[in-house]
């Protein structure tokens, strides 16, 4: 999924060191704040929340490689080689939410957690920063929080998400139906089978679930994958389909600067700019799910738009 932040890839960034010690790669960094005003791709949301700097999953296609947070990371490290816990972020979040509450703005606050990291890094087992943030959000709930992850570690916090009720959605990334593709483009990430199980368990736990095919990677069977997503979404879930070109925030220019084009060529997959499969998947799902399936930026913006519509309706009833 694309970012709301500008930034071009740093020349030579792929030659960064991968050998720095774990202290440099995983040292905690105190959070100066918690919520960041958002716009651009995530224009429907009011804020983002990033419990970590960097991401150990290091997906080949990730647009964050082109942002300043990575380009100017010290020491210079490959994308995926570091993930810094932002210590103190829950305390910062508590203060910021209380300020919004005093201003009467909390109900209209929609938070995307997270746009430049995965909030359920392997480091979350130790630091539990995302858990701490969810505890704060539960005590002072905003209008909406969307937790975007590909990690089964979020299961540990199902109870916190459930307690937030209609205020919370769990959005799980599931980009392909081909495990070989997953291994080639996202080798450090949880397997597809683990994520399918996670979605099933989230549905069983009564959570609001969105499946993010973002970006849509090469597929073995568009209709077969569509049928799987349809079943996983159930009667209430949502699906958002995205592509490299539509979703990297710069019409594919950010993706072009990553290893993605070379990996597509090496595996003889379709050209990375070809959007035929993502569009075909979206169309197949739309015929069966209607407005519960969305495309790219507009698809991600549906949940905050629903919040805004509900707030407007409530105001008219007063």
| Beta carbons of 232 and 212 less than 8 angstroms apart | no
Phi, psi (5° rounding) for residue 10? Answer: -80, 130
Angle between helices 129-139 and 89-102 (to 10 degrees): 20
The pLDDT assigned to 136 comes to 98
Instruction: Print the domain residue range for 32.
Output: 24-313
**The predicted structure's pLDDT at residue 22:** 58
Mean local confidence (pLDDT), 214-229: 98
Residues 21 and 83: their CA atoms lie apart, in Å, by: 12
Taking only the tens place, the pLDDT of each residue in 268-306 is: 999 999 999 999 999 999 999 999 999 999 999 999 998
Mean per-residue pLDDT over the chain, rounded: 91
The reply to whether 12 falls in a domain is: no
Look at residue 9 and tell me if it is in a domain.
no
Please tell me the least confidently modeled range out of 71-75, 201-205, 232-236: 71-75
How many domains does the chain contain in total?
A: 1
Query: Burial level of 304, CB count in 10 A (0-12/13-18/19+)?
Result: buried
Evaluate if residue 12 carries a pLDDT over 60.
no
Whether residue 54 is contained in a domain is answered as: yes
Residue 104 makes CB contacts below 8 A (sequence gap 6+) with: none
Cβ atoms of 26 and 84 closer than 8 Å? yes
* 3 domain-assigned: no
Residue 223 lies in a domain: yes
Q: Is the pLDDT of residue 87 over 70?
A: yes
Does residue 296 sit within a domain? yes
Summarize the confidence of residues 154-183 as an average pLDDT: 98
User: Whole-model pTM?
Assistant: 0.91
> Is the pLDDT at 315 greater than 80, yes or no?
no
- Angstrom distance (rounded) from CA 209 to CA 200: 10
Among 120, 266, 127, 100, residue whose Cα is nearest residue 185: 266
Q: List the CATH number of the domain containing 267.
A: 3.20.20.70
Residue 211: inside a domain: yes
Residue 248 has pLDDT above 70, yes or no: yes
201: buried, middle or exposed (CB in 10 Å: 19+, 13-18, 0-12)?
middle
Compute the average pLDDT of residues 118-124: 97
Average pLDDT over residues 230-239: 98
């Amino acid at each position: 999924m694309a970012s709301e932040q500008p930034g071009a890839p740093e020349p030579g960034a792929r030659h960064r060191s991968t050998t720095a010690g774990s202290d440099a790669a995983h040292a905690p960094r105190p959070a100066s704040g918690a919520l960041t005003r958002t716009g651009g791709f995530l224009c429907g949301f009011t804020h983002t929340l990033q419990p970590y700097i960097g991401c150990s999953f290091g997906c080949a296609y990730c647009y964050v490689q082109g942002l300043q947070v990575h380009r100017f990371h010290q020491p210079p490290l490959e994308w995926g080689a570091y993930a810094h816990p932002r210590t103190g972020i829950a305390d910062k979040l508590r203060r910021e939410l209380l300020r919004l509450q005093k201003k009467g703005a909390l109900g209209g606050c929609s938070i995307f957690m997270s746009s430049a990291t995965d909030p359920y890094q392997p480091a979350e087992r130790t630091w539990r920063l995302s858990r701490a943030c969810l505890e704060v959000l539960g005590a002072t709930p905003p209008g909406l929080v969307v937790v975007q992850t590909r990690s089964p570690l979020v299961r540990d916090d199902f109870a916190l998400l459930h307690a937030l009720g209609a205020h919370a959605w769990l959005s799980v990334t599931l980009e392909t139906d081909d495990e070989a593709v997953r291994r080639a483009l996202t080798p450090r990430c949880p397997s597809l089978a683990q994520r399918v199980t996670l979605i099933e368990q989230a549905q069983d736990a009564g959570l609001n679930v969105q499946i993010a095919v973002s970006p849509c990677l090469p597929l073995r069977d568009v209709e077969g994958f569509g049928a799987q997503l349809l079943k996983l979404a159930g009667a209430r879930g949502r699906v958002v389909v995205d592509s490299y070109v539509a979703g990297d925030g710069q019409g594919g220019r950010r993706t072009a600067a990553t290893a993605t084009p070379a990996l597509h060529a090496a595996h003889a997959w379709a050209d990375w700019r070809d959007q035929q499969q993502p569009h075909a998947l979206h169309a197949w799902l739309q015929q069966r799910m209607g407005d519960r399936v969305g495309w790219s930026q507009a698809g991600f913006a549906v949940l905050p738009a629903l919040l805004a519509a509900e707030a407007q309706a409530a105001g008219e009833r007063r």
